[in-house]
Amino acid sequence: MGAEVFIIDDRSVNRKILTKFASSVGDDITVSAFPNPVEALEACSRTVPDLVITDFKMPLMDGAGFIRELRRQASTADVPVIVVTAYEDHEIRREALEAGATDFILSPVDPWEFQTRARNLLRLRAQQVVIHRQTVRESEERFRLLVEGVRDYAIVMLDPAGLVTSWNAGAERLLGYCESEILGEPAGLLDPAAATGADGSDPAPAAMGAGGGAGVGAMLASAAADGSVHGEHVRVRKDGSRFQADILVTAMRDDAGGLAGFSMVTHDITTRRDMEAALRDALAESQILLRELHHRVRNNLQVISTVLYLQTLSMPDDDLKHGFRRTQQRIDGLGLLFRNLLGPRRITSVRFDGYLVDLCTSLVPNFDAARQLLRGADIGSLALELDLAGPLGLLIGEILFTAADDAVPKGGQTEGGADGGLTVRITHESGGLTLDFEFDRDPATGPPRVGGRYGLGPAVMAALADQLEARIGLGERDGRARISLTVPSSLFEAA
């Protein structure tokens, strides 16, 4: 990529780890690490980085102050900045975003997530630099061409009737007519409709009119009324070839305010339009690549699930076998994410309603979503990002495992608790969405333990809940066990 990456962290161990991760993003990456933001800002005055990865809590200057200083400098105002923080704190995120942060990564840093985010931002930076350089080159080129005779811009002067009074070298080069051929002729000669008659013959003068054909005539009329008009239209050269043109027509007034004529500046933008089409094709290709990545991840999850299942076939029916089966189910639950992606333009977002139904029917034997999933709130239009849907799915899965293991029907125990009266009730409260998992349970067995005997454990459950700012509650309703999961509404977006 030929990119410069700056790493700022006051801990040497973190600098070494992040340097190693950044170096692995591409073959031509130059990484510079700094122990504090002050040294990094001094380096930015000498070398403009393509990506900055910074800690938030640092001596001398925190991450927000450092980012603000970066944004004040014109050379680094648009450089993407990733903030690495161990704090899942909205205030910290808000402060960093207001300062100008581009993205976040939670510590400890996952290598794959780091490399993916860094690679994406470096690609965007490369495109940004190309566009900036192209804009600068175009501006410089326009100025040079203007000084040398404006050969790539057709600058045509017209009288109030739309007849050509001046024709520069750029007009001759772009449109093919020499000045002696075009002076006194209507500008409508440049309109495709006026280029040939209905039978392919030369157009009659009346077809062009004093003000030119429909396109030129309409632009002159608009300019006369509004002062100027700008637009993109098809124009035709003397040899009959057509091109896409960017045209600016300006009305010129005499001292008394009367219409003295028009200036018409025309530029061939065919190449630019071709480049834009190529860029759209490239963006479409990137969407295809991302879908392929999701497909491969899902396939790999299925392979892992199959391997775990085959491993259990030769195991005795004991705790180890059940632990393997439970792990297999968790992997299957993660695989369900990719069945509920929103579509080709939003393939990093998951439709929540479909994902919840799939989790319930996949992890709880014989679960009837039509009967047992009670929607007290409309969740059909809700979606959430893929990196949030995964942790939420794990939490829901552990609660479903608990219900499936512990649910007891009034008539007696059934395998897996499938008919133990399990219901999932969805309600919307102030600031959050609550999922209540209710089921019949023998009170003599004590309070339910979320995740059951083969659960992820309290520490992992607490970490997942903290990541989502979710709350898990245990209680009863009408003599039935109830496990409540409340997640903030801010996690969701409109599907």
Count the helix, strand and coil residues of the chain and give each as a percent rounded to the nearest 5: 50, 25, 25
- Calculate the average pLDDT of the chain: 82
**Other CB atoms within 10 A of residue 172 CB:** 17
Q: DSSP secondary-structure letter at 80?
A: -
Contacts 24+ apart (CB under 8 A), 285-289: 287/344, 287/345, 287/347
Helix (H, G, I), strand (E, B), or coil: what is residue 342? strand
The predicted structure's pLDDT at residue 251 = 94
Residue 16 has pLDDT above 60, yes or no: yes
The pair phi, psi for residue 113, each rounded to 5°, is: -65, -45
Residue 415 has pLDDT above 50, yes or no: no
The predicted structure's pLDDT at residue 166 = 86
Closest CA to 392 of 464, 456, 457, 458: 464
> Which residues, listed in sequence order, are joined to residue 232 by a DSSP beta bridge?
246
Q: DSSP secondary-structure letter at 74?
A: G
Q: With bands split at pLDDT 50, 70 and 90, how would you rate the model's confidence at 419?
A: very low
Helix (H, G, I), strand (E, B), or coil: what is residue 423? strand
What domains can you pick out in the chain, each with its CATH number?
3-146 (3.40.50.2300), 149-268 (3.30.450.20), 275-494 (3.30.565.10)
ω into 108 cis (within 30 of 0): yes
Identify the residue with better confidence: 378 or 454: 378
**Other CB atoms within 10 A of residue 208 CB:** 24
Whether this model's pTM surpasses 0.75: no
The predicted structure's pLDDT at residue 418 = 41
The predicted structure's pLDDT at residue 445 = 66
Sorted by sequence, the CB contacts under 8 Å of residue 88 that are 6+ apart come out as 106, 466, 467, 469
The predicted structure's pLDDT at residue 145 = 54
CB 203 within 8 A of CB 180: no
Dist CA 450 CA 461 (whole Å): 9
Dist CA 60 CA 168 (whole Å): 61
Dist CA 378 CA 353 (whole Å): 9
The predicted structure's pLDDT at residue 223 = 92
Dist CA 203 CA 74 (whole Å): 55
The predicted structure's pLDDT at residue 386 = 84
The predicted structure's pLDDT at residue 150 = 60
The predicted structure's pLDDT at residue 197 = 45
- pLDDT 10s digits, 152-209: 788 888 999 999 998 888 888 888 998 889 999 998 888 876 554 434 444 433 333 3
Helix (H, G, I), strand (E, B), or coil: what is residue 228? strand
The predicted structure's pLDDT at residue 39 = 92
The predicted structure's pLDDT at residue 8 = 93
Closest CA to 337 of 316, 367, 359: 359
The predicted structure's pLDDT at residue 329 = 86
Q: Beta strands of 35-87 (E only): which ranges?
A: 51-55, 81-85
Closest CA to 456 of 400, 382, 416: 400
Closest CA to 387 of 120, 105, 97, 123: 105
What percent of the chain stands above pLDDT 70?
A: 85
Dist CA 270 CA 276 (whole Å): 10
- pLDDT 10s digits, 387-398: 898 899 999 998
Give me the sign of the Cα torsion angle 195, 199, 202, 208: negative
C-alpha pair distances (Å), 474 with each of 105, 392, 481: 32, 18, 8
- pLDDT 10s digits, 298-350: 778 888 888 888 888 888 888 888 888 888 888 888 888 888 877 666 677 88
